[in-house]
Amino acid sequence: MDISIVIPVYNEDESLPELCSWIEKVMQENGFSYEVILVDDGSTDRSWDVIAGLRKANPCIKGIRFQRNYGKSAALNEGFKMAQGDVVITMDADMQDSPDEIPALRTMILEDRYDMVSGWKKVRHDPISKTLPSKFFNWTTARVSKIPLHDFNCGLKAYRNKVVKSIEVYGEMHRYIPVIAKWSGFRKIGEKVVEHRARKYGYTKFGGLGRGLKGLLDLASINFVGKYGKRPMHFFGPLGVLFFLIGFGVSISFIIQKFNHMSSFTLTNKPSFYIALICMVIGSQLFLTGFVAELISRNSPGRNSYLIEQKLGLDNP
């Protein structure tokens, strides 16, 4: 199969028929074999009934229905599991992403050999309450992750099939799929300017400063797990040793001064002595945290799970 299109759906019953019709037109014009995986993320409108009707009219349309709303990351993750196409395209259900971009995105994956391509909505038709926070978090993410993208959260993206089968998206981490892909070893990540259309039906289901705060927390989590997920002691251990040595060194210097000035020197009158003790306690706790985290990670099922690019002279067991 040429293309799998994964579309999270949340209360978009009005836009689905037009969107699927547009996708079908693009696929037929280009002669692509395809599937459209619509993931109903606990919609409270008629979205699932519409998906069922579209499935009857077109067998290329497939559906997944969540019992309740789990979020966009969960919808994408389940869609990725089911995707069979050589190239996997994700897009939003609100028709602000144009299916006409699909052939060019597929070309960049197959001919330009990108692992994934992220859309860049250079001209946006969103309220300022979405555009300003988005610019800030895209700027922050690009510098923290060292991935030169302008729009990490664009719903229109293309992936090599191997990429979506190698990553897990959860929480609110759909915003940082390029970062997750990079930490999984897929480093050829491209960008394409795409059309961003004004919303035709309904209203946006996302936005606000709360989303941005969650995004920063997710970014910190991704970077920590990516660097230290399999070796947590390398993070906690040095910090613990550093704090302990600082506290221990200061404490020893005070004790030496006490012995040199037995009558005039009082340890309990020195606030810095208590700070030194606290540093020793914090250092011990950090070291033990790293030790426990290391034990947990070594006994986790994925401890020795690594992505293998190629094998020579070896068959899969």
Banded pLDDT at 304 (limits 50, 70, 90) = very low
Residues 315, 107: Cα–Cα separation, whole Å: 32
Section 283-307 average pLDDT: 72
Residues 54, 56: Cα–Cα separation, whole Å: 5
End-to-end Cα, the chain, rounded Å: 27
Residue 304 lies in a domain: no
Give 238-247 pLDDT, tens digit per residue: 899 999 999 9
Task: Identify the residue with better confidence: 93 or 299.
Answer: 93
Task: Identify the residue with better confidence: 98 or 312.
Answer: 98
Residues 302, 163: Cα–Cα separation, whole Å: 18
Structural domain for 38, as ranges: 3-228
State what percent of residues in the chain have pLDDT above 70: 83
Q: Is the pLDDT of residue 224 over 80?
A: no
The residue out of 172, 207, 228 marking a domain boundary is 228
> What Å distances lie between residue 236 and 143, 145, 175, 219, CA to CA?
24, 21, 27, 19
Banded pLDDT at 297 (limits 50, 70, 90) = low
Indicate if 220 and 245 belong to the same structural domain.
Answer: no
Which residues sit opposite 21 in a β-bridge? none
Say which range, 45-59, 99-113, 208-222, has the weakest mean pLDDT. 208-222
State what percent of residues in the chain have pLDDT above 90: 48
Total domains in the chain come to 2
Indicate if 174 and 222 belong to the same structural domain.
Answer: yes
Indicate if 289 and 269 belong to the same structural domain.
Answer: yes
Indicate if 107 and 254 belong to the same structural domain.
Answer: no
Residue 303 lies in a domain: no
Which residues sit opposite 65 in a β-bridge? 40
Indicate if 155 and 240 belong to the same structural domain.
Answer: no
147 and 182 Cβ atoms separated by less than 8 Å: yes
Indicate if 164 and 260 belong to the same structural domain.
Answer: no
Residue 234, token pair as written in the block: 């390398």
Indicate if 80 and 166 belong to the same structural domain.
Answer: yes
38 and 9 Cβ atoms separated by less than 8 Å: yes
Residues 95, 5: Cα–Cα separation, whole Å: 14
Q: Is the pLDDT of residue 128 over 90?
A: no
Q: Give the contacts of 121 (CB within 8 A, at least 6 positions apart).
A: 151, 154, 194, 196
Which residues sit opposite 87 in a β-bridge? 3, 160
16 and 50 Cβ atoms separated by less than 8 Å: yes
Indicate if 101 and 72 belong to the same structural domain.
Answer: yes
Residue 308 lies in a domain: no
The pLDDT assigned to 122 comes to 86
Indicate if 174 and 51 belong to the same structural domain.
Answer: yes
Indicate if 223 and 241 belong to the same structural domain.
Answer: no
Give 181-215 pLDDT, tens digit per residue: 998 889 999 999 998 887 777 666 554 445 556 66
Q: What 3-state DSSP class applies to 301?
A: coil
Residue 97 lies in a domain: yes
Residues 123, 87: Cα–Cα separation, whole Å: 26
Q: How many CB atoms lie within 10 A of CB 152?
A: 25
* Beta strand extents in the chain (DSSP E only): 3-9, 34-40, 61-65, 87-90, 116-120, 157-160, 189-193
Indicate if 91 and 191 belong to the same structural domain.
Answer: yes
**What CATH number is attached to the domain comprising 90?**
3.90.550.10
Indicate if 245 and 155 belong to the same structural domain.
Answer: no
Residue 88 lies in a domain: yes
Q: What is the mean pLDDT of the chain?
A: 84
Give 246-257 pLDDT, tens digit per residue: 999 988 888 887
Residues 231, 209: Cα–Cα separation, whole Å: 33
The pLDDT assigned to 311 comes to 41
Give 53-73 pLDDT, tens digit per residue: 999 999 999 999 998 898 898
Banded pLDDT at 97 (limits 50, 70, 90) = very high
